Amino acid sequence: MSNEREAAVTLKGNPITLIGPELKAGDKAPEFTCDQGLVPPISLSDMGNSVKVFNVVLSVDTPVCSAQTRRFNEEAANILGDLKIYTISADLPFAQKRFCGSEGIDKVENISDYKDNTFGEAFGILIKDKGLLARAVFVLDKNNIVRHAEYVPEISTEPNFDSALEVIKSLV
């Protein structure tokens, strides 16, 4: 596969190879298309010119991923401004909707990269040979420029929320 990054992150100490580029602050966010279930797919260009947070998780059905999504949902309630937060995973859209309903997630939208992994490859977080996404947080400004990119080094741990929130609050 193109652009493999060996041992880019670990899972419980085991090295994980990621597919795609490592984005950095200042990079133009790459285009992608994700699924939303029975409604039309969504792409970066469909998301408008709000500040965007891409909260990337392996699966909403794991403890760290669900806690991460709940935390962004709670933080979103305290941030005023033109902000959209998306949790992105390779879970089926129906599983994502079930999770949000059962957990009271109402400020974060879920989108799924299960079909073509275009988000995972474009943002450099697709786990080689697994079809899953590594844990990461990306913050984009209104012009879709990456202002914060965190590839969480150890997948089983949470991201640095304070760092992401500082950037988010500076943009809205």
Residue 6 CB coordination number (10 Å): 9
Please name the amino acid found at residue 109: E
CA distance 47 to 156: 29
d(CA 162, CA 150): 12
CA 64 and chain centroid, separation: 14
Give SS3 for 121: helix
Under DSSP, the state recorded for 154 is B
Structure tokens at 144: 């879709």
Q: Which residues contact 15 (CB under 8 A, 6 or more apart)?
A: 6, 7, 9
List residues with catalytic annotation: 65
The β-bridge relationship of strands 4-11 and 14-19 is antiparallel
